[in-house]
Amino acid sequence: MEIQDALDKVRRELLIRDYSRQTAKSYLSALHKYFNFKKYNLSKIDAENIRNFLLDCHKKSVSAQSRNIFLSAIKFYYYNIVSIRQKIDIKTAKEKSALPTILSRKEISQIIRSIKNKKHQLLIELSYGGGLRVSETINLKVNDIDLEELTIHIKQSKGQKDRITLLSKKIVEDLAKLILLKNNNAYVFESERGGKLSTRTLQKVFSNALDKSGIKKSATFHSLRHSFATHLLENGVDIRYVQELLGHTNIRTTQIYTHVTNPNIKNIKSPL
């Protein structure tokens, strides 16, 4: 019962602080694993026990990124629920630095052309053209679209932030037809039974289109967002504007795209 009581207190605090649903889910899952490892005296901080837990996770091949989430969740519990001020002096794990998978403009066109369902095609076009996350496309409502100003208002996305991004003029006519008879509060892309689509549905739409296109890259729906950022930089758009369009708090997050779009490297020819 001690574990469930602790989890209930964490869940309540996360709701009060308006943490995103995904963060709350990750923290609660992490703490459930940690509490089962610790077993008793949950309110008593034990740095060695935390280290042993993280080591156990490492031995079970849990990724560095997941282990860092576990550590953040544990710190959240002791600092905000138990109100312990003792510093948990444990460093985060070094995460692998991998470049994002980028699709060329030609490959994006191939993927779009391979989709026969017009709504699904429009969904991919809008997501790529505005650099949307899968959750942002799912939650997009009619009143978030400005067909005249060619903008999309992303509301309360990652980090509970709003931002304005781009709407391609090429899809305005088709988009206008799609939302013509919908009320302002309706989802732009609804499921056949009404309501918003699932994350899984969008990912499946993309993976099916990728397969049909014949492209062999290990791309995901999120690759559309990566490609959006890279293509803007290739077009000479200032990185600060790209940062704003993506909704990145720190420009260092945006700078990863400079590693895949460096024209100086592309102009160098192999000696072979």
Catalytic residue set: 133, 158, 222, 225, 248, 257
Say if CB 95 and CB 64 are below 8 A apart. yes
State the Rg of the chain over Cα.
22
- Nearest Cα to Cα of residue 6 among 89, 65, 76: 76
C-alpha to C-alpha distance for 215 and 226, rounded to whole angstroms: 16
C-alpha to C-alpha distance for 170 and 166, rounded to whole angstroms: 12
* 143 secondary structure, DSSP code: G
- Nearest Cα to Cα of residue 233 among 213, 206, 251: 251
* Structure token pair of residue 113: 């052309």
**Helix 105-113 × helix 222-234 angle, to 10°:** 140
- Nearest Cα to Cα of residue 228 among 154, 120, 145, 133: 133
Kindly write down the DSSP assignment for every residue of 16-45, as one continuous string. HTT--HHHHHHHHHHHHHHHHHH-S-TTS-
Phi, psi of 180 (to 5 degrees): -50, -50
C-alpha to C-alpha distance for 109 and 125, rounded to whole angstroms: 9
